[in-house]
Amino acid sequence: MPRWLIHVALLLVAVSWIPFALIARARTTPQRTPRMMIIPDMDRQEKFRPQSVNPMFADSRADRRPVPGTVAQGQLEEDSHLNRGLVNGAWAVEFPGPVTESTMRRGQQRYEIFCAPCHGLAGMGDGIVAARAERLQEGTWTPPTNLHDVAVRERPVGHLYNTIANGIRNMPAYGAQIPVADRWAIVAYVRALQKSQNARIEDVPADIRPTLR
């Protein structure tokens, strides 16, 4: 084989590595200019930013409102008992499903996150937020309800569920933060708190009663 042909072959091999070297340099070295995009995907496209103007519509809004009467997939919420706490138009007096130990533990955890700051860990209406508001004495604070009051204890579980979902009086709605299952879990835990302060000896299992003082 002629020597010049060997030199040409070596030169071509060396040249073939140049594109790979440039690619490696482009991927690892900061640059002031945008990288070349062989496949742009959807990085650059004609679109409207949120809250921007779109002159194509009469109201000039790029964000369109949902079509009246439509419901997003999976959000039909046909079960009125589960999703609204109502049975035949009245507040439900029973839970929509079984209340298990895991449900109670979940309810306690969610209660301590969302409810205890105002209502207190025991539900007495003496949470840290309420305590600070009382110290400030600004005159605009409405004390949170004591969950052990007779009026609250006598409310059906559906009413308590609705209170969590939609709020009541000065209490804001928590429906956007607390999913349906967690709302019912909180209601179950509130019922347990109420029972703990208003239990009768008949509520205690017979085999445990002798151990009570």
Distance (Å, whole) CA 161 – CA 168: 11
DSSP state of 58: T
Residue 38 has pLDDT above 80, yes or no: no
Taking Cα atoms as reference points, which of 94, 70, 105 lies closest to residue 182?
105
pLDDT digits (tens, 9 = 90+) for 131-190: 898 888 877 778 889 999 999 999 999 999 999 999 998 899 999 999 999 999 999 999
The structure tokens listed for 25 are 């340099």
User: Which band of pLDDT confidence, cut at 50, 70 and 90, is reported for residue 121?
Assistant: very high
pLDDT of 213:
66
pLDDT digits (tens, 9 = 90+) for 67-105: 888 888 877 888 899 999 999 999 999 999 999 999 999
pLDDT of 186:
97
Q: Are 156 and 84 in contact (CB under 8 A)?
A: no
pLDDT of 207:
84
Residue 114 has pLDDT above 70, yes or no: yes
Q: Are 134 and 155 in contact (CB under 8 A)?
A: no
The structure tokens listed for 176 are 């956007």
pLDDT of 112:
95
Q: Which long-range contacts (CB under 8 A, 24 or more apart) does 119-126 make?
A: 119/144, 119/145, 119/146, 119/147, 122/193, 122/197, 123/147, 123/148, 123/190, 123/193, 123/194, 123/197, 124/148
Q: Give CA separation, 8 vs 3, 46, 151, in Å.
A: 9, 48, 96
Q: Which residues pair with 26 in a beta bridge?
A: none
Q: Which residues pair with 86 in a beta bridge?
A: 91
SS3 content of the chain, % helix, strand, coil (to 5): 45, 5, 50
pLDDT of 24:
85
Residue 111 has pLDDT above 90, yes or no: yes
Cα-trace Rg, the chain = 32
pLDDT digits (tens, 9 = 90+) for 2-37: 788 888 888 888 888 888 888 888 778 887 877 777
pLDDT of 46:
82
pLDDT of 1:
67
DSSP state of 162: H
